[in-house]
Amino acid sequence: MNNLNILADKNGFFGNYGGQFIEQDLKDELQKIEKAFFEIIKDKTFQNELDYLMKNFVGRPSPIYFAKNLSKKLGNEIYLKREDLNHTGAHKINHCLGEALLAKKMGKTKVIGETGAGQHGLALATASALLGLQCDIYMGEVDIKKAKSNVDKMRLLGANIIAVSDGTKSLKEAVDAALAAYKKDFNNSFYAIGSVVGPHPFPTIVEYFQTRIGIEANKQMKEQYNGLPNYVIACVGGGSNAIGIFNGFVNEKEVQLIGVEPLGKSEKIGENAASIKYGKDGILHGFKCKVLQDEFGNIQDAYSVACGLDYPGIGPKHCHLNEEKLAKYETIGDSEAISAFYELSKTEGIIPALESSHAIAYAIKLSSQVQNKKILVNLSGRGDKDVDFIMENYPLC
């Protein structure tokens, strides 16, 4: 798999973004990880093991489904890359398996991670159970209550859940706590980050394992659907599912790549999580990116109805793709995402994750501007986890 189209420079930057804003002892460890990663991905045994697990444990390649009913309604051909069909229900298992395998090859006995809605935690706990690694998951107290069924599953899989009670008691604080724990124990443990964020080389590692989505999708569109799409659309939290599918098309000049950020309730800082649109350059969790902040540079809370998208920053490569105009970034609010959640469920019999519903909603919006185009949407996950929440808060009328 030769798949990193744009590599970070030797200091870990994509253009102006990324890098390593961390203490020296951690820098030394991350340099070891970087070296091990580039060696291991060249190793045939590692690739064979990964390929075997991707196929037989995760169920890859995930299919591309032509959404006939929705296409008819919208006047465009809508194709869905079915990451919702993966084991554990989302794309996150792709990088978790990769990270856990890498940790194991490096001789680590434990993985440390954080989780918001519990999706990354669940995928990491699953990979850890499979590979016999200890798994510590840091999670905000508020999120623990909200995502009870994922918490139960993680415990069942043998993970330790560590409740975080600082600040807003949610994702940002969970990352802070997980990073602090990792700094104390990096000799034995591996920090399995949940997206293409964090200090170099973490964004590169996660990107590499998610690029499988794009490589498959490019091939599938050509072989099954008469050629490339005009548009590729994906939701963006930290940006891992988006970068994964974008990488399959980044060299195809005629394909327009669109990342969809959550506009939440409004344009006001604190009521959305659209870091590219409303963020300013800053440092978050050891890397430089567009961050939601006030005029004094204090990092602000992110909000979206989709918990998996509410992160105040975004992966450095997305900041770079945006600056170089290699991809476009648009926004979709809570209410449009919820409508799309209902629309896909009713027209196609597929209940999408609220995160992925943002990408579907943008495909619907785009259809008021263009017609007879091929639109490929990355359906990053399934909506089972969201059904209770939707029924309680936005019930069918």
Residues that bind ligand PLP (CB under 6 A): 90, 92, 119, 195, 235-242, 308-309, 353, 355-356, 380-381
Q: Which of 77, 83, 114, 336 is catalytic?
A: 114
Shortest CB 360 distance to ligand PLP, Å: 12
Per the annotation, the verdict on 223 as an active-site residue is: no
Shortest CB 95 distance to ligand PLP, Å: 9
What is the spatial distance between Cα 89 and Cα 289, in angstroms, rounded to a whole number?
A: 29
Shortest CB 226 distance to ligand PLP, Å: 28
Shortest CB 210 distance to ligand PLP, Å: 8
Residue found by looking up tokens 């253009």 in the block? 15
Q: Which of 92, 108, 146, 374 is catalytic?
A: 92
Per the annotation, the verdict on 346 as an active-site residue is: no
Q: Are 30 and 22 in contact (CB under 8 A)?
A: yes
Task: Retrieve residue 107's tokens.
Answer: 């001789």
- Nearest residue (CB) to ligand PLP, 271 versus 355: 355
- Nearest residue (CB) to ligand PLP, 186 versus 233: 233
What is the spatial distance between Cα 359 and Cα 227, in angstroms, rounded to a whole number?
A: 21
Identify the CA nearest to 308 among candidates 215, 214, 393, 381: 381
Task: Retrieve residue 252's tokens.
Answer: 């195809």
Q: Are 273 and 171 in contact (CB under 8 A)?
A: no
Identify the CA nearest to 194 among candidates 236, 240, 155: 240
Beta 17-18 vs 13-14: how paired, if at all?
Answer: antiparallel
- Nearest residue (CB) to ligand PLP, 34 versus 114: 114
Shortest CB 118 distance to ligand PLP, Å: 9
Q: Which residues pair with 260 in a beta bridge?
A: 235, 330
Shortest CB 206 distance to ligand PLP, Å: 8
Identify the CA nearest to 54 among candidates 106, 89, 90, 97: 97
- Nearest residue (CB) to ligand PLP, 343 versus 355: 355
- Nearest residue (CB) to ligand PLP, 186 versus 194: 194
Give the angle subtended at the CA of 351 by the CAs of 301 and 154, to the nearest 5°: 60
Q: Where are the alpha helices (DSSP H) in 75-147?
A: 92-105, 119-131, 141-146
- Nearest residue (CB) to ligand PLP, 318 versus 374: 318
Q: Are 275 and 17 in contact (CB under 8 A)?
A: no
Identify the CA nearest to 115 among candidates 138, 147, 145: 138
In the bound state, the residue with its beta carbon closest to ligand PLP is 381
Per the annotation, the verdict on 380 as an active-site residue is: yes
Q: Which of 81, 330, 380, 385 is catalytic?
A: 380
Q: How far is CA 11 from the centre of its chain?
A: 23
- Nearest residue (CB) to ligand PLP, 101 versus 235: 235
First to last CA, the chain: 49
What is the spatial distance between Cα 49 and Cα 55, in angstroms, rounded to a whole number?
A: 10
Shortest CB 296 distance to ligand PLP, Å: 27
Q: Which residues are catalytic?
A: 92, 114, 380
